[in-house]
Structure 1
Amino acid sequence: MRRHRWCRPCEFSPAVVVILACIVVLQFLLLIKDQDGLFQTDYSEMSKKSTQMKTETRIATSGVLPTTETIDTFRTCTCGMHYQVNGTEALVFPSTPKKKVLLAIGIPTIHRVGETYLLQTLDSLISNMADNERDDVIIIVFLADRETEKRTMLATSIKNKFGDLLQSGMISVIQAPNSYYNAINVTKLTYNQPIKYVKWRAKQNFDYAYMFKYSMGRSSYYMQIEDDVKTLPGYVDSIKQYIKEQTDEWTCLEFSELGFIGKLYHTEDLDKMAMMFLLFYQEQPVDYTYLYFNLVMTQMTKKLRKPTLFQHLGIYSSFPGKIQPLKDRYFDNFTKVFKADNPPAEIITSMSVYLTFLPRLAYQGEGYFWSHGAPTDGDTFTVVFQEPQKLVRVVVVTGSEGHPHDRIEYARLDASLTLLKTDNDLKCTNDISLGFFENGNIDAGFLIEKISFKVMCLRITVTKVHALWVIIKEIAVFVSK
Structure 2
Amino acid sequence: MRPRQIVKLVLLLLGVALVNIALLMDALFFSEKFKSSREMFETFVKINAEKKGWLERAAFKQQVPPSIQHGNEIRKEMEAKASDANIFEPGLLSLLPHLVSVDTSSLEPLLFTNRNRTRRKIAFGIPVVGRKTSYVLQTLHSLFENLEEQFKPDVVFIVVFAYANVTVESFSDLIELMKTNFTAEIQTGLLEIAAIPNTWYSLDLNAIQPTFNDSAERMRWRTKQNLDYIYIMNYGRKRAEYYMHLEDDITATARYG
Which of the five TM-score ranges fits, normalised by the shorter chain? 0.5 to 0.7
Structure in which a larger fraction of residues adopt strand: 1
Matched with 2:127 is 108
Matched with 1:287 is none
Residue 219 of structure 1 aligns with an amino acid whose one-letter code is A
1:190 counterpart = 2:208 = no
Q: TM-score, normalised by structure 1?
A: 0.31
**Aligned-partner SS, 1:107:** strand
Structure 1 runs, 4 residues or longer, greater than 4 Å off: 81-89
Matched with 2:70 is none
Matched with 1:217 is 238
State the superposition RMSD in angstroms: 2.9
Tell me, in whole angstroms, the C-alpha distance in 2 between the residues paired with 1:85 and 1:119. 31
Number of matched pairs: 163
Tell me, in whole angstroms, the C-alpha distance in 1 between the residues paired with 2:106 and 2:99. 17
| Aligned residue among 184, 203, 207 for 2:228 | 207
Q: Is the 8 A contact 1:90 1:176 kept in 2?
A: yes
Deviation at 1:112, TM superposition (A): 1.7
Matched with 1:95 is 114
Matched with 1:137 is 155
Deviation at 1:158, TM superposition (A): 0.6
Superposition map of 1:294-309 within 5 A: none
**Aligned-partner SS, 2:251:** strand
Change (3 A) 1:172 1:184: farther
Q: Deviations over 1:362-385 (max 9, x none)?
A: xxxxxxxxxxxxxxxxxxxxxxxx
Q: Is the 8 A contact 1:96 1:168 kept in 2?
A: no
Change (3 A) 1:222 1:81: farther
Structure showing greater radius of gyration is 2
| Aligned residue among 210, 219, 232 for 2:253 | 232
Matched with 1:66 is none
Q: Is the 8 A contact 1:98 1:169 kept in 2?
A: no
Deviation at 1:195, TM superposition (A): 0.9
Structure in which a larger fraction of residues adopt helix: 2
Matched with 1:180 is 200
Q: TM-score, normalised by structure 2?
A: 0.56
Deviation at 1:111, TM superposition (A): 3.0
Q: Is the 8 A contact 1:118 1:228 kept in 2?
A: yes
In structure 1, list runs of 5 or more residues that go unmatched.
1-30, 35-75, 237-481
Residue 149 of structure 2 aligns with an amino acid whose one-letter code is D
Q: Deviations over 1:36-66 (max 9, x none)?
A: xxxxxxxxxxxxxxxxxxxxxxxxxxxxxxx
Relative contact order, higher structure (CA 8 A, sep 6+) = 2
Q: Deviations over 1:298-354 (max 9, x none)?
A: xxxxxxxxxxxxxxxxxxxxxxxxxxxxxxxxxxxxxxxxxxxxxxxxxxxxxxxxx
Deviation at 1:233, TM superposition (A): 1.6
Percent identity between matched residues is 31
Q: Is the 8 A contact 2:108 2:197 kept in 1?
A: no
Change (3 A) 1:175 1:209: same
Tell me, in whole angstroms, the C-alpha distance in 1 between the residues paired with 2:222 and 2:135. 21
**Aligned-partner SS, 2:243:** strand
